[in-house]
Amino acid sequence: MTFSGFLSQLLQLAIALVLAPLLVGWVNKCRAWLSNRTAPSILLPYRMIRKLFFKDAVVAENASSIFRLTPYIVFGAMCCAAAIVPSLATDLPFARAADTIALVGLFALARVFMALAAMDIGTSFGSLGARREMFVGFLAEPALLMVLFTASLISGSTSLPSIVDTFAHRELAIYPSLAFAGVAFTMVSLAENARVPVDNPTTHLELTMIHEAMLLEYSARHLALLEWASALKLFNYSCIGLALFFPYGIVVSGTDWLALLGAAPALIAKLMAGGFALALIETLSAKMRIFRAPEFLGTAFMLAVLAMLVNLLLGA
Amino acid sequence: MSPQPLTLVIAAIAAWLMIGALGLARSRHFAFITRILFPAGSVVGLAMAVVAVVAMASPPQAIILPLGLPDLPFHLRLDSLSAFFLLLLGATSTAISLYSAGYFRTSEGTAPGLICFQYHAFLAAMALVMIADDAYLFMVAWETMALTSFFLVTTEHRIPEIRRAGFLYLLIAHIGAIAILLCFGTLQGGSGDYTFAAMRTMHLTGAWPSAAFFLALFGFGAKAGLLPLHIWLPEAHPAAPSPVSALMSGVMLKTAIYGLLRVTFDLLTAQLWWWGVVALALGLATALFGVIFAAVQTDMKRLLAYSSIENIGIIVAGIGLTILFKAYDKSLLAAIALTAVLYHALNHAFFKSLLFLATGSVLHATHERSLGKLGGLIHHMPWVAWLALVGALACAGLPPLNGFVSEWLLLQAFLFTPSLPQSFVNMLVPVAAAVLVLAVALSAYVMVKFFGVIFLGRPREANLAYAKDAGTFERVALVWLAAGCVLLGLFPVTVITLLDPINTMLVGASAIRTGESSWFLLAPISADRSSYSPLIMLVVILAIVLLTVQVVHRYYHGRVRRAPPWDCGFPAQTPRMQDTAEGFGMPIRTVFEPFFRIKRHLPSPFDAAPRYEVTAEDHLWHWLYVPVARGAEMLARLVGHIQQGRISVYLTYSFFTLLALLFLVR
């Protein structure tokens, strides 16, 4: 591990932390535009987080330590994931410690703790949210792994930076397996980030919420950390998608500070386009009943498995 | 000269038997049995584990004891594979024996002295299975193991359901034992020499190797709980006292894995690729079946029993993969798959014993096994709850704990399947990986249900407020197992290095490429392809968490107010509004509805305290077992016609028999 590699690692983590709420703000702005509403400021998520940090925390009387520990664990897991996913450059020394399987494991760790915290208070909505979140997770997680496996089979590595290295160096060609995987990945990302059509991030309507139901009992700094963590999760998923399917612009040759300077605008442009696409999907689709979710995610899983088979059949 | 490991192992077995005999001799001295004998058994277990670690790196040793049949004395042999399973037995039983010291009460249905004897004889029999080097001793030890565990399962023999569960277990154990016996009969190839040494040199031809393998798969599968012979597991585990469930699930199921490995890779000289496909398919079907059923259980020990079926499925799928790679001479991949198999066996022993012991403590504190009547125990039993959390996270396969490492290794083996000669198999492997991943993801669901419903939320019954935490012996035992889960998770390279002699012995390759892996970085093929370092991961997560806590608490006020739960402002909240076990399992029940035979007990509208209950039963029981049982009954009834109970009729039978004999012999 070189010193500059270490610096680049820290820089990318810092960029993830800073850009994540901004990405959420941008998606919300696009959603407002698309539905002909006056858009809130793009900085709104920052203000939310800041406001929440200054409030008094209200914790339920019967909450155990799991409830108070969870925001930190979830935030830590998402930061850790952000350190593995290449956003600007593929020179990530920490990625050696955790490959894509471990990355999915990290997401699962965060999910399990969220669900446990939601069950901790013993309210009806909390356990409802926990149950639904685990339900969505049990199909989304394998689908995500299958997408990553398809990429691993093409590049012969499960390490995310190595995969991106391979993909960025290849010629611009259409891989049929990647096309399947891309569709599957989009579907999984929608589900995992509590987006329409699986969940709705803006709802507090009891019957439909999944992710929000788990956050109901949280307030102040705990809520701020969880909001930040879910913004980071969206950022991580976006970066995984960009790295797998549009790796162009990422610095692949070690740490070249000048090149990094050029990679930053490319990343922001790609994220803006991705965020707009997300807002478009959300505006154009309707929320599904919860029991339609297995069909949706089952389709994603099948597409991902198909991607792997296509890859083996055609060798591409 | 220092004593040989094999001698020490035999001494440990003798010590266990002696402890058991002492318990039998002084069966009235309850304090002596629980405070002296069980802890002594625990020390013997620890010694066994230490000896086994040494023996794993040593060359094989054999000894012949002047016991047994006149022309077939007891052959004993200790090689790396035996030593590994002895390590598993020793390390797990250290904790379970210690836990038993605090667990058993005078009020059990069987006298404590007798339990002590059965328990230690069970341990000794399992150890003997692993060092047996001839078919006769193996079968004697195997049957002793089955019988002692049967008596342990039926400790509360006055309850009819428990007797029923015990008999079901005994029946399936014996059907399995017959298959194993036939397997050994096939392996000796007509030579009449039943030592394993002779079987190793025997080159079977034609269909005989396949016959031997499938008999072994059937026989050992019955013990391990492979589909469709899993039926006894969810009955016997809830019936047995918790330390016994832990021992059976954690260790005894692994003796079947040991037997399968021994027969497949050691006694049979060559493996065929399609055995691997069958084992892989069977293992994955078992894994998926087990985890789906675990998700809908309402009894905590049944839930864990189904989860054990899932883990056994994963292990057998790994064995199938190993066979496949070995048959195609991909020895490096075979070594990785085999490492994953052994690693997962060890992990499962630790986390499942931990979880079963935790349910034992919950059972003692609350006298309740049904998940729907528990809840909120983390406040009353913090030790048990936090240690069970470690076990649950490990069982869910989450990093950086041990369950994740073995699953990671297995997925690596799946993923780097180079082009195998058969394109059909090539296609099969990714699909198999998909099924495996699905089972692993569902196990997280199961564990959230298990832990969340028992320990979190609000107590669903009033008497739970008086639940007391586990005693000192039990705590130490749980800490030992939880520490095992953490350490096995954090230092995978050390463990794999320890396992490597087995890889060399069974598949002829080492899973560790020197130079790429270091003590903290696991990189089975090369660091560019895949690497994993739980230690660094843990340190980074902890660093970020601590830093966040520091920053948050330094720059912002730490004011925290305690208030009643908000719950969207819903005014009347009772603990009954939480998810029950049925409620939490509902989505899975709906999605996988065709898998179950569902019985609903709907409350009537006039019920003062309505309770909704759903039981999901196994189709296989009705499709496979009930018809066989009916057939057997019908046959018995037909035979029963002969039995008239009148002496004149029997004399007529004798007369006709004599006539027939005279006719034949003439």
The residue of chain A with its CA nearest to that of B460 is: A122
∠B619-B233-B24 over CA atoms, to 5°? 150
Last residue of a domain, one of B172, B202, B232: B202
Question: Quick check: B124 pLDDT over 90?
Answer: yes
Closest CA to A161 of A250, A45, A29: A250
* CB contact at 8 A, B390 and B354: yes
Question: Quick check: A233 pLDDT over 80?
Answer: yes
DSSP chain A: --HHHHHHHHHHHHHHHHHHHHHHHHHHHHHHHHTT-PPPPTTHHHHHHHHHHTSPEEEETT--HHHHHHHHHHHHHHHHHHHHS-SSBS--GGGGT--HHHHHHHHHHHHHHHHHHHHHS--HHHHHHHHHHHHHHHHHHHHHHHHHHHHHHHHT---HHHHHHHHHHS-S---HHHHHHHHHHHHHHHHHTT-TTT--TT---TTT-SHHHHHTT--HHHHHHHHHHHHHHHHHHHHHHHHHH--TT-B-SS--HHHHHHHHHHHHHHHHHHHHHHHHHHHHSPPPPGGGHHHHHHHHHHHHHHHHHHHHHH--
Helix H or strand E segment including B357: helix B331-366
Helix H or strand E segment including B78: strand B73-78
The residue of chain A with its CA nearest to that of B540 is: A80
Burial label for B182, CB within 10 Å (0-12, 13-18, 19+), is middle
The two counts, helices (H) then strands (E), for chain B are 25, 5
pLDDT value for B516: 62
Question: Do B195 and B279 share a structural domain?
Answer: no
A222 contacts chain B (CB < 8 A): no
The residue of chain A with its CA nearest to that of B446 is: A134
Q: Hey, are the CB atoms on B427 and A64 less than 8 Å from each other?
A: no
Q: Retrieve residue B198's tokens.
A: 């002779």
Q: Which has more confidence, B262 or A161?
A: B262
Question: Do B191 and B278 share a structural domain?
Answer: no
Provide the 3-class DSSP secondary structure of residue B617: strand
Provide the 3-class DSSP secondary structure of residue B60: coil
Last residue of a domain, one of B202, B226, B254: B202
Q: Retrieve residue B657's tokens.
A: 């028999």
- Span B195-220, pLDDT tens digits: 888 888 888 888 888 999 999 999 99
Distance CA B235, CA B231 (A): 7
- Span B464-502, pLDDT tens digits: 788 788 888 889 999 999 999 999 999 888 888 888 888
Question: Quick check: B637 pLDDT over 70?
Answer: yes
Domain ranges in chain A? 3-314
| Helices B423-455 and B382-395: angle between axes, nearest 10 degrees | 170
Q: Retrieve residue B64's tokens.
A: 């012949």
A49 contacts chain B (CB < 8 A): no
Radius of gyration from C-alpha coordinates of chain A: 19
Distance CA A2, CA B354 (A): 42
Question: Quick check: B613 pLDDT over 80?
Answer: no
Secondary-structure breakdown of chain B: helix, strand, coil percentages, each rounded to the nearest 5: 70, 5, 25
Q: Retrieve residue B534's tokens.
A: 């739980």
Question: Quick check: B271 pLDDT over 60?
Answer: yes
Q: Retrieve residue B506's tokens.
A: 């069974």
Closest CA to B320 of B228, B420, B413: B413
Q: How far is CA A216 from CA A146, B376, B587, in A?
A: 32, 19, 22
Distance CA A27, CA A196 (A): 13
pLDDT value for B45: 93
Question: Do B449 and B345 share a structural domain?
Answer: yes
Name the least confident of A42-46, A215-219, A228-232, B107-111.
Answer: B107-111
Helix H or strand E segment including B29: none
B465 contacts chain A (CB < 8 A): no
pTM: 0.92
| Chain centroid, CA A47 distance in Å | 21
Model ipTM value: 0.92
Establish if B528 belongs to a structural domain.
no
* Mean pLDDT of the region A257-278: 85
The residue of chain A with its CA nearest to that of B381 is: A64
The residue of chain A with its CA nearest to that of B565 is: A60
Name the least confident of A245-254, A266-275, B472-481, B578-587.
Answer: A245-254
What mean pLDDT, rounded, does chain B reach? 87
DSSP B449-469: HHHHHHHSS--SSGGGGG---
Alpha helices in B556-645 (DSSP H): 581-591, 619-620, 626-640
Question: Quick check: A4 pLDDT over 70?
Answer: yes
Helix H or strand E segment including B614: strand B613-618
pLDDT value for A226: 92
- Whether the link from the prior residue into B59 is cis, omega within 30° of 0, is no
pLDDT value for B1: 46
Alpha helices in B367-421 (DSSP H): 382-395, 402-415
Cβ contacts (< 8 Å) between B411 and chain A: which residues? 101, 145
Establish if B577 belongs to a structural domain.
no
What mean pLDDT, rounded, does chain A reach? 86
Single-letter residue type at B190: G
Q: Which range marks the domain in which residue B290 is found?
A: 271-513
Single-letter residue type at B158: R
Last residue of a domain, one of B482, B513, B544: B513
Helix H or strand E segment including B592: none
Q: Which residue has the tokens 């008497």?
A: B463
A142 contacts chain B (CB < 8 A): yes
∠B572-B575-B576 over CA atoms, to 5°? 90
Question: Quick check: B287 pLDDT over 90?
Answer: yes
Q: How many domains does chain B have?
A: 2
Distance CA B382, CA B242 (A): 19
Establish if B251 belongs to a structural domain.
no
Q: Retrieve residue A16's tokens.
A: 């993830």
- Span B132-158, pLDDT tens digits: 988 899 999 999 999 999 999 988 888
In this complex, which of B437, B448, B562 lies closest to A112 when CB atoms are compared? B448
Q: Hey, are the CB atoms on B566 and A102 less than 8 Å from each other?
A: no
Cβ contacts (< 8 Å) between A313 and chain B: which residues? 427
**Residues 536-555 of chain B whose Cβ lies under 8 A from any Cβ of chain A:** 536-537, 540-542, 544-545, 548-549, 552
Most B-contacting residue of A127, A165, A188, A309 (CB-CB within 10 A), to test interface: A127
Establish if B182 belongs to a structural domain.
yes
Q: Hey, are the CB atoms on B549 and A162 less than 8 Å from each other?
A: no
Distance CA A211, CA A238 (A): 19
Question: Do B300 and B169 share a structural domain?
Answer: no
* Mean pLDDT of the region A256-263: 76
Establish if B623 belongs to a structural domain.
no
Q: Which has more confidence, B47 or A166?
A: B47
Q: Retrieve residue A31's tokens.
A: 């959603």
Q: Which has more confidence, A2 or A152?
A: A152
Residues constituting chain A: 316
Most A-contacting residue of B456, B537, B545, B556 (CB-CB within 10 A), to test interface: B456
Q: Hey, are the CB atoms on B591 and A294 less than 8 Å from each other?
A: yes
pLDDT value for B486: 93
Provide the 3-class DSSP secondary structure of residue B374: coil
* Mean pLDDT of the region B20-48: 87
- Span B347-393, pLDDT tens digits: 999 999 999 999 999 988 888 888 888 888 888 899 999 999 999 99
Q: How far is CA B563 from CA A121, A195, B185, in A?
A: 11, 31, 71
Question: Quick check: B340 pLDDT over 80?
Answer: yes
Cβ contacts (< 8 Å) between B433 and chain A: which residues? 146, 149
For chain B, report the end-to-end CA distance as a whole number of angstroms: 69
- Span B46-79, pLDDT tens digits: 999 999 998 888 888 888 888 878 888 888 999 8
Q: What percent of chain B has pLDDT over 70?
A: 97
Distance CA B572, CA A162 (A): 55
A77 contacts chain B (CB < 8 A): yes
Cβ contacts (< 8 Å) between B569 and chain A: which residues? none
**Residues 341-380 of chain B whose Cβ lies under 8 A from any Cβ of chain A:** 375-376, 378-379
